[in-house]
Amino acid sequence: MQLSTIIKEHTGRKFRKLEHYIDVYERYMESFRSKPITFLEIGVYDGGSLQLWKKYFHPDSKIYGVDINPDCKEYEEARIKILIGDQGDSKFLDELIEELPPIDIILDDGGHTMQQQILTFEKVFPKLKQHALYICEDCNTSYHPDYGGGLHKEGTFIEHMKSKIDELYAYNSLHNESFKITEVTKTAFGIHFYDSMVVIERKQLKPVGLTGPDSQRVPREKYMQHIVGKSMQKDPEKLKEGMMKNAIIEAINKNPIVMFNTLELQQAQKNQISNSIKEYQFSQNMLEADSKNSPKFKEFISEVRTFLTPHQRELLEKVLNNL
């Protein structure tokens, strides 16, 4: 039976869900219905949604609910267990993960504050099964001041998850020191944004690259070398200049004593320099020494100098002399 049908026929306890959530649920949860799973929903309300999940998933599935309100304990029934605690409490989340069997699906419909949503994701996502779903509902609170939200405001759940998109691509980076591979890189198969909802598919990933009709799999490192090599064939001079520009930003990232502390760059200066070279994404170890003498690179350095004070420009010359 489809979830939409179960909802129409439901006569049990109350629940509240945005209507379009149902389509998202069915898109991602359908593949989890054929065998017993462990399902966790944070935020019990009147217990009605837990009854829906009980009907929707395999009859041997274990359904858990978490709520800060002790009265929610009365909604326990066969195959539904309620645990009382605050999802904003790091210690409680640690204890919760230890107490429950490995989780297949977590649905965060709890307090909806930024601290609660971010903490829950960071604590629980790494502990899910290798093939699992993490769903956070009512993410529209990232834009509501009463919940700590605001458009483009640092520290909201949506801004936090935007940063995870970069982590998702880290295997493709040639900047291994400044672009770290994380738990999200290794295990997030996809991050999907919907109106008021974020879905993260968890699946253990390997840094493999290319596969073809002959079923041969090419390691990602070789694949990336192949891509870079093709770029070099197309426009070697442009690539070489890009490598040199990237060397400067790598120096900024990797040598804070020289660039951040010694040059004492203000944040606005850092942003200006980064904006000037953000389109270049090549590895420093591919740098060729004569690139720094190219006219375009000299033009770039001239532009950087305009962002600096006279004293900073003197220090920059020392940095350039060491390249």
pLDDT digits (tens, 9 = 90+) for 171-197: 776 555 667 888 998 899 999 999 999
**Sequence-distant (≥ 6) Cβ neighbours of residue 171 within 8 angstroms:** 181, 185, 205, 207, 220
Report pTM: 0.68
Alpha helices in 213-256 (DSSP H): 220-234, 236-254
CATH 3.40.50.150 residue ranges for the chain:
3-202
Q: Which residues pair with 201 in a beta bridge?
A: 133, 190
CA distances from 274 to 246, 269, 277, 309 (A): 10, 8, 5, 17
**pLDDT band per the 50, 70, 90 thresholds, residue 205:** confident
Structure tokens at 272: 């200006």
Q: Which residues pair with 211 in a beta bridge?
A: 217
| pLDDT tens string 78-124 | 999 999 999 999 999 999 999 999 999 999 999 999 999 999 999 99
End-to-end CA distance of the chain: 66
Q: Are 294 and 241 in contact (CB under 8 A)?
A: yes
**pLDDT band per the 50, 70, 90 thresholds, residue 303:** confident
Give the C-alpha separation, 33 to 25, whole Å.
Answer: 12
CB < 8 Å & 24+ apart, contacts of 166-172: 171/205, 171/207, 171/220, 172/220, 172/224
According to the per-residue pLDDT averaged within each range, which of 11-20, 173-182, 263-272 is highest? 11-20
Amino acid at 133: L
Q: Which residues pair with 67 in a beta bridge?
A: 84
Exposure string of 19-56, with b = 16+ CB inside 10 Å and e = fewer, is: eebbebbeebbeebeeeebbbbbbbbbebbbbbbbbbb
**pLDDT band per the 50, 70, 90 thresholds, residue 1:** confident
Give CA angle at 290 (265, 287), nearest 5°. Answer: 65
Structure tokens at 275: 């904006």
Q: Does residue 224 register a pLDDT over 60?
A: no
Q: Out of 1.10.3720.10, 3.40.50.300, 3.40.50.150, 3.30.2130.10, select the CATH number for domain 3-202.
A: 3.40.50.150
